[in-house]
Amino acid sequence: DAKTTQPTSMDCAEGRAANLPCNHSTISGNEYVYWYRQIHSQGPQYIIHGLKNNETNEMASLIITEDRKSSTLILPHATLRDTAVYYCIVRGGAAGNKLTFGGGTRVLVKP
């Protein structure tokens, strides 16, 4: 499975953009980058995914570098309810359809 590397934790200010980096240098051509988040004791919530193009939805934007070795999840206006653990996952290809979760980034949004 392609591995991902994320910072262990980060803080951001309420109302500001939160930029969450992820490295996936061993990603292969047919593997997608997925982002989920998990608010304490709840099931993971799907945020966004992409293959090579940048993606945007109502929750966030996903910026994937041209070489696909890293990506950034952007929460445009962080709120206190965005406090969660954010997981960057590479999925598909030889690894199949399972999601392999790493440690994620613990994001604390402060007022």
Partner 1 sequence: DAGVTQSPTHLIKTRGQHVTLRCSPISGHKSVSWYQQVLGQGPQFIFQYYEKEERGRGNFPDRFSARQFPNYSSELNVNALLLGDSALYLCASSLTGSETQYFGPGTRLLVL
**Footprint of partner 1 on this chain (CB under 8 A)?**
34, 36, 41-46, 49, 87, 92, 96-104
**Least CB distance from residue 71 to partner 1, whole Å?**
16
Q: Which is nearer to partner 1, 23 or 100 (CB)?
A: 100
Longest dimension (CA), the chain: 43
Cβ nearer to partner 1, comparing 1 with 14: 1
> Which two tokens mark 97?
């359809």
User: Is residue 23 packed enough to be buried (19+ CB in 10 Å), middle (13-18) or exposed (0-12)?
Assistant: middle
* Cα gap 69→14, rounded to integer Å: 29
| Residue number, 17 or 46, with CB nearest to partner 1 | 46
Closest of 22, 33, 11, 17 to residue 74, by C-alpha: 17
Q: How far apart are CB 93 and partner 1 at their closest, in Å?
A: 11
C-beta of 61: minimal distance to partner 1 in Å?
17
